[in-house]
Amino acid sequence: MDDDVLIANPGSSSLKLRVIGPDNAVLAGQDGPEPGDDLADVVDRFLDGTPSVGAVGVRVVHGGPSFGGPLLVDDAVHDRLTDLDELAPLHNPPARALIQVLRRALPDTPVVACFDTAFHHTLPRAASAFAVPWAWTEELGVRRYGFHGLSHAWAAKRAAELLARPLDGLRLVTCHLGAGASLAAVQAGRSIDTTMGFTPLDGLVMATRSGAVDPGAVLWAQRRLGLAPGEVEESLEHHSGLLGLSGRSGDLRVVLEGAAEGDERCRLAVDVMQHRLRGAIASMAASMGGVDALVFTGGIGEHATSVRAAAIDGLTFLGAQVDLDANALSVGHDAVISPPDALVASLVVVAREDLAMAEEVRALLAHGG
């Protein structure tokens, strides 16, 4: 096949298209669409101006319990994907729609679904199971799925390369920090624990998402305020996190500015985020019986030097140390930010889900799909 791969990364209201060459160079790219744009028209215009591709990879947020790796999409697979819409109602339906558009636009080109949950299919039952009524687990599939898997997998691979050590000999805590945020405990290249759960709402404090919260508090607030289930979901998804704590913004840059200006709620938001982050990193390390390296990725992980430094400074009991000069200089590129004698290394890795997906697509098709 042609070694160029078209990578499509759809969000709930966004779309990133990249053509990845065999040397991982980005040969063409486009972000969009604009409001009101027809998805098929956007794809057709992009394809008209790009070289032919040998395969397509589409990011699908939720693969449910069945999809533990990339899968060549045919009509039967697409029908199975439909069953997962209720697990990720904002993200999976746009991905399915995009898959159908691409299959029609490129009828002779294989289209592969790459699942963000697949990397976490290696979670042991002790990490994936919730202590809820067994019928919820058996009949509803309630369990920890984990997310950001493509990012965690890439971060782990690049960390091993930067450290010049084999991945199968490393215990890594990969920290995907952005508007959405999650950690993974990656031992010998396999995810054995992670902070997001049944949905991407669980775990760390995020831009507008609450992260972990006592379900009893949610039930109490629902009864006290007379909230419908949809209103509870809206509150926890879009009015919590940094925004809820600070009252100013879900953008960490704005919250950090507010904290520097003396805004007490902004300071609290930063402190809570850091407290949860340090505790979660320590928990991931405990799942592996120790840690060899911390890996920061995602928009915040790559650019917020103060967040990285504060997290590492709070984990010196694990053997983590930060080289302040290296940390300050490492913005938006791969780097080691710990001193050479640190017992636990710290690194920055640029999130490249597009390259992780291209590798998955090529590997799948090389083995016959």
Catalytic residues: 116
Closest CA to 96 of 121, 79, 108, 76: 79
Q: Positive or negative CA dihedral for 225, 221, 236, 93?
A: negative
Tokens found for residue 82: 């439909």
Handedness of CA 117, 120, 121, 123 (dihedral sign): negative
Q: How many CA atoms lie within 13 A of 3 on its CB side?
A: 9
3-state class (DSSP) for residue 274: helix
Q: Residue 365: in which H helix or E strand, if any?
A: helix 353-366
- Beta-bridged to residue 320, according to DSSP, are 344
Do the beta carbons of residue 130 and residue 328 sit within 8 Å? no
- Cβ burial of 21 (10 Å; 0-12, 13-18, 19+) is middle
Query: Where do we find the tokens 């919590």?
Result: 240
Neighbours of 192 (CB within 10 A): 20
Q: How many CB atoms lie within 10 A of CB 220?
A: 11
